[in-house]
A and B are shown apart, each in its own frame.
Chain A
Amino acid sequence: MNKKRILILVRSPPYAGATSYETLEAVLVAGVFEQAVTVVFMDDGVFQLVRNQDTGELGVRNVGKGLRALDTYDVKELYVDGASLQQRGLTAADLEVPAKPVDAVHIGNLIRLNDVVLTS
């Protein structure tokens, strides 16, 4: 299978519908098929990264736990827009999984380096 470079741009918060978990599943599947996957969290998408998510009462799958599985699926390129974090009063210590902080210029470069960009 041709290896494609896939960038997933996550801009929506978790738990507003099924989108975020479905996006996570797309990332995992791409990882299983050994595609080169990069994930960038920006805008309200940074809320997906917040640690200690507990969906027991809400009764839906836990995005935070899903994120922890990424490493196992060989998805290691995680980036977060530093300004989006800062605007929401979040720091690296608040995150479930480590993501490299980047700025808008760096995100632009990441987009150019990829064959396919999926947005959520």
Chain B
Amino acid sequence: MGTLHIVNKPATRGGFARCLAVASANDHVLFIEDGVYCALPAVLAGARREDLLLHALGTDVHARGIDVLVSPQVEVIDERRFVDLVVACRPIVTWS
């Protein structure tokens, strides 16, 4: 399943850019907490990584009212799926 990259801060903090620079093809990227703002199309447009599997945690997306703004490239997932990813991926890297 490859590496799970967890991004928990907005793109302006730099963590997401570093994640993109080092992630390998088919790695999973999960946006949580303030990291869900990285899931907006305007932010992802600069990413240019079609080879990554993008997810955002629904709880954090709903809380911030950005459900309709999240890019269609990003799969909004529930906590159960979050756990599945954590179990399946190795290693897990957090980017702040």
Tell me the complex Cα distance, A79–B10, Å. Answer: 27
Tell me the complex Cα distance, A119–B93, Å. Answer: 7
- Cβ of B71 within 8 Å of any chain A Cβ, yes or no, is no
Would you call A11 and B3 a contact (CB within 8 A)? no
Q: Which residue of B lies closest to A42 (CB)?
A: B18
Report the stretch among B19-27, B31-39, B53-61, B72-80 that lies at the interface. B19-27
Given that A108-B23, A108-B24, A112-B24 are contacting pairs, would A117 and B18 also be in contact in the complex, using a CB cutoff of 8 Å?
A: no
Which residues of B have CB within 8 Å of A11?
15, 18, 96
Would you call B94 and A119 a contact (CB within 8 A)? yes
Tier of interface size on chain B: 10 to 19
- Cβ of B90 within 8 Å of any chain A Cβ, yes or no, is yes
Task: State the interface size on chain A (CB cutoff 8 A).
Answer: 17
- Cross-chain contact of B22 among A111, A114, A116 (Cβ < 8 A): A111
Query: How many whole Å from A4's CB to the nearest CB in chain B?
Result: 10
Tell me the complex Cα distance, A109–B91, Å. Answer: 12
Which residues of A have CB within 8 Å of B44?
none
- Cβ of A60 within 8 Å of any chain B Cβ, yes or no, is no
Which residues of B have CB within 8 Å of A7?
91
- Cβ of B92 within 8 Å of any chain A Cβ, yes or no, is yes
Can you pick out 9 interface pairs between chain A and chain B where the beta carbons lie within 8 Å of each other? A11-B15, A42-B18, A43-B14, A104-B21, A108-B21, A111-B91, A116-B91, A117-B94, A119-B95
Residues of A with Cβ closer than 8 Å to B?
7, 9, 11, 42-43, 104-105, 107-109, 111-112, 114-117, 119
